[in-house]
Amino acid sequence: MARTKEFDPDAAVDKAMEVFWANGYAATTPQQLVDALGIGRGSLYNAFTSKRALYERALRRYYERETVRLIQVLDGPGPARERLRAALDLVIAAAVDDRERRGCMVTNAAVELADRDEVVAHLVRRTFERQEAAFRSTIEEGRRGGEISGDRDAAALAAFFLTTINGIRVLAKADPDPRRLSGLAETALSVL
C-alpha cells in the first residue's frame, strides 16, 4: 500500500506567501497555488477553506517574517540614530535584492485591497502601527539621549519614517537604484 504524502500547513503557507507576494491577491489563481504547494485542489480547500483565508494567513506570515526583522533592528542595542539608519538600510537592501521587484507584501495589500476589504485593512493597519510604534520608541530614546533634537515631534517623525520606508519600497519596484534609495535614507535622517 502506498504511503500518503505528508502535508505541512506551515510550509504551504510559506509557499503561498511567495505566490501572493509575487502576483497579488486578485492575479493569483487557485491553480498557481495548487502548483506551488504541490497539493490537489481539494486538499488546498480542505486545509485552508478558501483562497481568501490562505491569503490572510500568508499576509500574517509575511508580517512574522519580514516586519518583525525591521522591528528587531529598531528595538536592538546601540545608538538610536544608528538603529534608524540600520532600519532604512534593511529596507533598501531588501528592495535592491528583490530581483522580481515584488516590493512589500503589506504595502501591496494596502494598495490592492485595503480600501475595500476590512480584514486586509486591519492587517495592514496593525503592521503599519507596529512599525510606526517601533520608530517612535527609537526616536524617543534618541531624544532622551540627546542624539535627536528635543524640539522634534516623535510621533510626526515616526509617521515620516513609516512613510519613507514605504515610499522606498514602492519606488524600488520601478527604480531600484541603490544610490537613489540611499540618498532618500540620508534625507530622512537629516530631519532628525
Buried b (16+ CB within 10 A) or exposed e, 38-72: ebeeeebbeebeebeebbbbbbebbbeebbeebbe
In whole angstroms, what separates CA 3 from the centre of its chain?
Answer: 39
- Residues 169 and 103: beta-carbon distance below 8 Å: yes
For residues 1 and 16, which has the higher predicted lDDT (pLDDT)? 16
For the cut 50, the answer to whether the pLDDT of residue 2 exceeds it is no
- Residues 134 and 70: beta-carbon distance below 8 Å: yes
Question: CA angle at residue 68 from 63 to 71, to 5 degrees?
Answer: 130
pLDDT, tens only, 23-57? 999 999 999 999 999 988 888 888 999 999 999 99
For the cut 50, the answer to whether the pLDDT of residue 100 exceeds it is yes
How much is the average pLDDT of 136-144? Answer: 97
Three cell numbers, residue 45: 480547500
Average pLDDT for the chain: 94
pLDDT, tens only, 148-168? 999 989 999 999 999 999 999
Three cell numbers, residue 96: 535592491
How much is the average pLDDT of 160-178? Answer: 96
pLDDT value of position 6: 64
Alpha helices, DSSP H only, in 49-79?
51-62, 68-75
pLDDT value of position 49: 93
For the cut 60, the answer to whether the pLDDT of residue 5 exceeds it is no
For the cut 80, the answer to whether the pLDDT of residue 4 exceeds it is no
- Largest Cα–Cα distance of the chain, in whole Å? 74
pLDDT value of position 8: 86
For the cut 50, the answer to whether the pLDDT of residue 3 exceeds it is no
State what percent of residues in the chain have pLDDT above 90: 89
